[in-house]
Amino acid sequence: MPPLLVWSVRMFWVYVLENSRGKFYVGQTEDLDERLKDHNRTDCFEGHFTRKNGPWRLVWSEEHNTRSSAVRRERQIKRMKSANWIRRKLLAVNPDGSGL
């Protein structure tokens, strides 16, 4: 009997984090839970915007089938350079946090 082929579906995420001062951070990752933990680490602060400005909470995320698609979307959001745009266009869609 031939061996079973196991297909692993990799999903990628674009996400927005917000800190207690209302600042946002936009990123992309393959593992959303681990990435959030990494951003909130307190054992090392040097050179990491999120570690120096946390704690962070996930306020928005979007699933993508490929990393290239996630990177394109991340860049699109970052080009807006506006917390107001994030609040109006991304967070207003699900203001209660549903769909995360």
Query: Who's near 68: CB < 8 A, 6+ residues apart?
Result: none
CA pair distance 29, 75, nearest whole angstrom: 13
Fold of the CATH domain 12-91:
GIY-YIG endonuclease (3.40.1440)
pTM: 0.80
Instruction: Please list the pLDDT of the chain residue by residue as tens digits (100 residues).
Output: 666 666 667 899 999 999 999 999 999 999 999 999 989 988 876 657 888 888 999 999 999 999 999 999 999 999 987 888 898 888 886 655 544 4
